Structure 1
Amino acid sequence: MSNATIIFLLTLCIMILICIIVYQQFVFHNGTKAKIHEISSKLKELLDTDSDEKVTVFTDNKALIELATQINRMLEDRQKVKVEYRRAEMASKKMLSNISHDIKTPMTVILGYLEIMRLNGTQSNEMLQKVESTAQRVMGLITQFFTLAKLEAGDTDMPLERLNVNEACRENILDFYELLSQKNFEVEINIPDHVLYANANKDALQRIMFNLISNAIRYGGDGKYLGMFLRADQAHIYIDIVDRGRGIEKEFADSVFDRLFMMEDSRNSAMQGNGLGLTIAKNLALQLGGDITLESQPHQKTVFTITLKKMAY
């Protein structure tokens, strides 16, 4: 075979290989383009119909498989956000319904007292005191509701400072001394002599402790015991508010700070108050960079623990 023939055959083979490569690239390009169009059409369909289906693509192209996988992850996240939004929307509607009920009931009582006074033509001091007491209850409820709304909207200014937690605890428990004495409570306090400082806001911490102590007296009052214990480790300060009342069943412990759980519970006539106090306390603690946790053994020991960030001396 001559050199010319060999060169011709080699050239022909090269041309054939080039044609094959070009054809494969053409087919690959068109196939990829078609698959991308398929994915795009399916994604548009899912978004338009608000479906919870997934994008499926039949291909051995790793890049397209990865693309479909990431799109499906985004669709899953979108579904989770939608579910959470609907849950929050339902919770808000339910809360507003409960608030309306809590306001309507005492207002009905006020109107009833006023009607009795009008019919009798008298201005009984006892009646007036009942009207005033009920009106104050309504105002307290409205104040708590708007406090919670401001906290959840992030519309509350709480500058942090180096706070003497020992002193804050003493001041708070002292405010309840007369009430606890009247109710014949056994009171146990353990506040160490060495000062513990937290990075906190005094007004917020006072409100947290006030709400937790009020809650212990109101709902744990049958135990006739209140304890306050201040302790710390290397990084945190802990304030334990303890009662020996009826407590909270274990299955409800995680829900006790939820406003709806407490408000539903407050329908029980044995539980006076609207139940927003714990929700407000929890929100305040979180905004201070801390937390509130609960451990409860009904009729034995219920402990609400406030956790704060510790500061150096």
Structure 2
Amino acid sequence: MDSIWLVLGALALGAFLGAGFLLLLYMAERRGARAAQVIAPTIPDGVEQVLDVLESAGIVIDPSNNVLKASPGALALGLVRGSSLVHPELVELAASVRRSGETIADEFTLARGPYGDSTMRLQVLVARLGTRFVLLLAEDRTESYRLDEVRRDFVANISHELKTPIASVSLLAEALDMAADEPDQVRRFAGRLSTEAARLAHITSEVIELSRLQARDALRPDVLVSIDEVVAEAVDQNRIVATAKHVEIGVRASSKAQVYGDRALLVVAVHNLLSNAIAYSPEASRVGIGVKVDGDTVSIAVTDQGIGIQREDLDRVFERFFRVDQARSRNTGGSGLGLSIVKHTVQNHGGDVRVWSTPDRGSTFTIRLPLAEPPAASVPDAAGEPSASKPTSEPRQARAAHPVR
């Protein structure tokens, strides 16, 4: 009889312990669900929609400095990579807002991209968003700070460069007047006058192109551009000139790489490199252009077998109006603005341009650009579906490219 009671007691104790264990599991599950609801980042209603259409940079950061949402402008400016802020200055600013609870506005000079010395000047506003998040808004003010300096330098350069063709036109006009009774002389002077007028018009068109490039609204950074298509269009623009000179253009561009930027400006930049390569190459030679993706970078390299560049001139080839060979540049119609346009275009896209050259053996110009960062995935919404920023891939109406040699 005692053994029966012992068995029954053991069974009762086991049932009690089992029920208690199940109760503990249930409570733990409920607590875990509530904790998950608290921990799971939920961006306040309406913020994601605003960031999707925001032209300037807008970023939402969680307490661990993870980027939960970024506008197309923030991605295009290179402020976000993966789910993190690229610049430590912005991370520290967000930390200051968390500590003080006060909204902070400041200006920063930050690297425009991972390459070269190009910088951007940002007006940044950081504020709390709810109790857990931080909202960062940034506006690119680079051009407004640089405009005065650029204008001063540009006016000085163009005034100097225009003196020669204007003086030539004036002298030729006087010569025509004096040779009015000599038809052969009139034809000869008229031909030279047409050449100088064409040169003057060419310089003017390049000045307009460079001025537009340096204007505040020259670049819409939230448009996705296919690098392979840029290269194909630039090659097509140079086919006729290359064929006339019996120069073969070899193309290797199947990268499927995309960058944020302005398609028309990128086509002009690549066109300029190809045009220079053909102009300074001997007849029956070869010019090559290739596209390569390496990590977060896409490179466009243009190689020729031309006259090359002296070592002491390598650092100056991207200056406005600088010509490696003054006499040859006049014969080929060059103004010395083509490579300056390339440099400004590439810098405005967060990249850099480099040159390698050996005299009498040829040159290689390489453009490097950061690949477009895909939109960061957002926090799942109430239906469990993730939402993401969708930068527009519709390019603006293409603008006419001005050939620059």
**Contact 1:199–1:308, Cα closer than 8 Å, also in 2:** no
Partner of 2:297: 236
AA aligned opposite 2:235: I
Tell me, which stretches of 5 or more residues in structure 2 are unaligned?
A: 1-148, 375-405
- Report the Cα offset of residue 105 of structure 1: 4.9
Query: What does 1:1-313 correspond to in 2, within 5 Å?
Result: 95-108=157-170, 111=173, 114-115=176-177, 118-120=180-182, 131-152=193-214, 154-160=215-221, 161-192=223-254, 194-221=255-282, 224-260=285-321, 262-263=322-323, 265=324, 268-272=326-330, 273-311=334-372
Instruction: Provide the identity percentage.
Output: 21
**Contact 2:234–2:271, Cα closer than 8 Å, also in 1:** yes
AA aligned opposite 1:248: I
In 2, Cα distance between equivalents of 1:112 and 1:291: 47
In 2, Cα distance between equivalents of 1:119 and 1:125: 11
Runs of 4+ residues over 4 Å off in structure 1: 87-94, 124-133
Provide, for residues 15-50 of structure 1, a one-character-per-residue CA deviation record: whole Å limited to 9, x for no partner.
Answer: xxxxxxxxxxxxxxxxxxxxxxxxxxxxxxxxxxxx
TM-score, scaled relative to structure 1? 0.60
**Contact 2:248–2:286, Cα closer than 8 Å, also in 1:** yes
- Report the Cα offset of residue 271 of structure 1: 2.2
The alpha-carbon distance between structure 1 residues 302 and 121, as it changes in their structure 2 partners (threshold 3 A), is: closer
The alpha-carbon distance between structure 1 residues 95 and 117, as it changes in their structure 2 partners (threshold 3 A), is: same
Provide, for residues 192-214 of structure 1, a one-character-per-residue CA deviation record: whole Å limited to 9, x for no partner.
Answer: 2x521111210110110121112
In 1, Cα distance between equivalents of 2:155 and 2:288: 37
- Report the Cα offset of residue 150 of structure 1: 4.6
- Report the Cα offset of residue 280 of structure 1: 1.4
SS in 1 for 2:370: strand
Structural RMSD (CA): 3.3
In 2, Cα distance between equivalents of 1:276 and 1:178: 22
- Report the Cα offset of residue 151 of structure 1: 3.8
In 2, Cα distance between equivalents of 1:301 and 1:256: 15
The alpha-carbon distance between structure 1 residues 88 and 140, as it changes in their structure 2 partners (threshold 3 A), is: closer
SS in 2 for 1:269: helix
SS in 2 for 1:296: strand
The alpha-carbon distance between structure 1 residues 226 and 109, as it changes in their structure 2 partners (threshold 3 A), is: farther
- Report the Cα offset of residue 275 of structure 1: 0.7
In 1, Cα distance between equivalents of 2:154 and 2:229: 38
- Report the Cα offset of residue 223 of structure 1: 7.8
The alpha-carbon distance between structure 1 residues 126 and 167, as it changes in their structure 2 partners (threshold 3 A), is: farther
- Report the Cα offset of residue 148 of structure 1: 2.8
The alpha-carbon distance between structure 1 residues 102 and 232, as it changes in their structure 2 partners (threshold 3 A), is: farther
In 2, Cα distance between equivalents of 1:88 and 1:163: 27
AA aligned opposite 1:141: I
Bigger strand fraction: 2
In 2, Cα distance between equivalents of 1:90 and 1:167: 36
AA aligned opposite 1:270: R
SS in 1 for 2:268: helix
The alpha-carbon distance between structure 1 residues 271 and 222, as it changes in their structure 2 partners (threshold 3 A), is: farther
AA aligned opposite 2:161: I
- Report the Cα offset of residue 156 of structure 1: 4.5
TM-score, scaled relative to structure 2? 0.48
The alpha-carbon distance between structure 1 residues 253 and 116, as it changes in their structure 2 partners (threshold 3 A), is: same
SS in 2 for 1:176: helix
SS in 1 for 2:340: helix
Provide, for residues 91-143 of structure 1, a one-character-per-residue CA deviation record: whole Å limited to 9, x for no partner.
Answer: 66762453133432552475267547844479x99976664454232111022
- Report the Cα offset of residue 168 of structure 1: 1.5
Structure number with larger C-alpha Rg: 1
**Contact 1:223–1:246, Cα closer than 8 Å, also in 2:** no
**Contact 2:246–2:284, Cα closer than 8 Å, also in 1:** no
